[in-house]
Amino acid sequence: MNYSQFQQELLREIPKVDDLIQDLSMEVPHRIKVIACRDVLEDIRSYILSSPNPDAKSVNYETIRDQIEQRLRSILRPSLRPVVNATGVVIHTNLGRSLLPKEVLQVMADVASRYSNLEYNLDRGKRGIRYSHVEGILCELTGAEAALVVNNNAAAVLITLETLARGREVIVSRGELVEIGGSFRVPDVMEKSGAILREVGTTNRTHLRDYESAIGEQTALFLKVHQSNFRIVGFTKDVSISELSGLSARYNIPIFNDLGSGNFIDFSRYGMEYEPTVQEVISAGADLVSFSGDKLLGGPQAGIIIGKKVFIDRIKKNPLNRAVRIDKLTLVALEGILRLYRDPEQAVKTIPTLNMLTLSRDELRSRARRLQRRLRSLKLSGISIGIADTISRVGGGALPLQQLASIAVTLTSQSKSLSAAHIERELRKNEPPVITRIEDDRVFMDLRTIQEEDHAIIARALASTHARLTCV
Ligand SMILES: *Cc1c(COP(=O)(O)O)cnc(C)c1O
């Protein structure tokens, strides 16, 4: 490599790590200061070497010191931290899926900071069972005979298949061999569990006779998988749990339904698509049902397995159960959420996921007006702040076709330095970050997923975004 004289001169002018460290006023362990200095100086070196005509200001001492302080702040900041979800996707897997209500946080804090009866039977003064804290209420809410909970629904599916069908055949419709995303694919999970996949029917049509003719010596289970994030429409036929339950009884082959999301509330009562509830699936004849804690249920990440006691007992005894066991903070949060479901009307108000999904357009419009007034009062030149109709999504692979009519506050730029893409990026880099989406060259902030306390954050973020983008 041949570097120009100028590049070599600049390299020589880069300040020394020791000098810079002496000069940093932040109270930070020495080792962290060294890491930050080296990172920044390394970036400057590669900038100088990779630019044919590097900027001489890149080696300015004060600028470098500022960069190091900025780097230190970013090293010291927690990596996993809250963001404002202005995307309108309610169960946003990348943004943490479900928010827990305040009531539940209080119990979590108590259990986290004190000892608890996690695995201790207070009546008998002996070792107790971890999931006993939710088994009773799960049975009460769903009508199932028994229940257990594990780390997430992927684990629930894996352990159920491993327990009931390892080395034997599981009959599944070709229309249900789904990929959920994040590498959860039904055929792959099946293979990992040691069960043998026996596909029946076609992508769009599967009949009861397809299931029946696949039954053999090796059949262990009928598996029904919720299609979750897609739908097959048109010339279709699938076999319902209640249709399958006749075969199940006749041949003594249990039915396991991976419901994916799993809801206790009938959303059609709130003007949304009908989706069978967990209770309905149990009473239709499923022997085992599994679903997520943090999708439509609106609780913490967990996998819930409910159904016939004979099967649940076998799953509980599986050594894998220890490997996929639920953490105590998750467990206490889950119990808190389940308790709220005892009063479904109240649950829809207090569980954030349900509350956001059922917000009326009038409520969203009045929130949008409030946010608009607040942002307009900042009097930012070059950005016009409007209100537009938009569509929010349920997310989390649940109700993929459901369009939720919603209202957004929009930011339209009137100058080049303030393009929608710039604004979106700067809002995202704010602390806390504000995640928006761009539509028709405008920044959209959907009021459905914006929380009350987010309004002030958005206003501050927009003011500083504007200041940063207009000062250059
Ligand atoms: C989401 C989903 C899963 C995985 O659930 P997690 O709780 O995210 O592990 C499994 N099966 C189906 C059908 C799903 O929709």
Nearest CA to ligand 1 atom 5: 153
84-93+357-470 with 102-350: one CATH topology?
A: no
pLDDT in tens, 267-304: 999 999 999 999 999 999 999 999 999 999 999 999 99
Residues within 6 Å of ligand 1 by CB:
152-154, 157, 180, 184, 225-226, 228, 258, 260-261, 292, 303, 397
Question: Alpha-carbon distance 263 to 116, whole Å?
Answer: 29
Q: At what angle do helices 61-76 and 30-50 cross, to 10 degrees?
A: 120
Ligand 1 center to 52 CA (angstroms): 51
Q: What is the pLDDT of residues 138-194, one digit of tens each?
A: 999 999 999 999 999 999 999 999 999 999 999 999 999 999 877 789 999 999 999
Cα(39)–Cα(249) distance, integer angstroms:
66
Q: How far is the CA of 292 from the centre of ligand 1 (A)?
A: 6
Q: What is the DSSP string of 237-301?
A: B---HHHHHHHHHHHT--EEEEEET--SS-GGGGTS-----HHHHHHTT-SEEEEESSSTT-SSS
Topology, domain 102-350: Aspartate Aminotransferase; domain 2 (3.40.640)
- Atom in ligand 1 nearest the alpha carbon of residue 229: 15
Distant-in-sequence, close-in-space partners of 305: CB < 8 Å, separation ≥ 6: 147, 148, 149, 150, 156, 159, 160, 288, 289, 290, 312, 315
Q: What is the pLDDT of residue 79?
A: 96
- The correct answer on CATH 3.40.50.720 for the domain covering 84-93+357-470 is no
pLDDT digits (tens, 9 = 90+) for 22-41: 999 888 999 999 999 999 99
Domain ranges of the chain: 3-76, 84-93+357-470, 102-350
Distance 433 CA to ligand 1 centre (A): 27
Q: Which atom of ligand 1 is nearest to the CA of 227?
A: 13
The residue whose CA has the least distance to atom 12 of ligand 1 is 260
